[in-house]
Amino acid sequence: MNKDNPSLLMKNKVWLNACADMLPLSVAVIPWGVLCGSLGVQMGLTPLQAQAMSLFVFAGAAQLSGVTMMGVGVPVSTLFGTTFVISARHLLYSVNFRQYIRQLPLKWRITLGFLLTDEMYALCAANIERTGEFDKHYALFSGAFFYFCWNLATLLGVLGGTQFENIEELGLEFAIAATFLALVIPTIKDIPVLVCVLVSFAVMTILTLAGYDNALIAAAITGMIAGFVYESVMPIHTKREGKRK
């Protein structure tokens, strides 16, 4: 039956490839998901509310900061403002993906938009570079697989609940840094990107040690400016060197 249906065979292959590619990243964020679920319960959320955050918010860094801020009773405006800043990078992802999905039906755009994460974006970008085209099924399967694993990890944290005392002190949030390192390093393929990464790292380290509250935002902006300046200046420098020769 499958031999007579090439389309079905192709979809099966895409599904397997997407899940296989996403598996390492899904495993890497299990501690992160467990932390979100358990910390939510410890901060006063019901098990259903803690799980609902992963089901409907589906944003790891925003969830962690949101749960923590709700636990200490910060104003709603601060909660939403911080969440917006943390998640602002998804605007860039969306702008880049728009060229590929704007012709798709609304149900596809909404679904892919909801499933869009750093991990899904990185895999889809790599797949586009590898195949030369955007595969909506690859994006759907990779995003859905990560969504399932993230909610499963959150459920483990929710079920553990108060059994994991002082879970925030176990260093599980390092999974966040490890995941982003795994996503960023493969993208460093030229000097401007390397400059951006190194400058961001240096500024983030210095400002964090100095106790600056918005170190992440400052580091990101500074890194992007540095990469842009380097890419803009170097062609001019190269041309001048060529004329001298």
Please provide the DSSP assignment of 142-185 as one string.
HHHHHHHHHHHHHHHHHHHGGGSTTGGGTTTTHHHHHHHHHHHG
CB 41 within 8 A of CB 162: yes
Q: Say what the pLDDT of residue 177 is.
A: 64
pLDDT in tens, 88-114: 778 878 888 888 999 999 999 999 999
pLDDT in tens, 153-169: 999 989 886 666 655 55
pLDDT in tens, 14-31: 889 999 999 988 988 888
The DSSP call for residue 61 is H
Largest distance between two CA atoms of the chain: 71
Does position 70 have pLDDT exceeding 80, yes or no? yes
pLDDT in tens, 172-192: 556 666 666 666 676 677 888
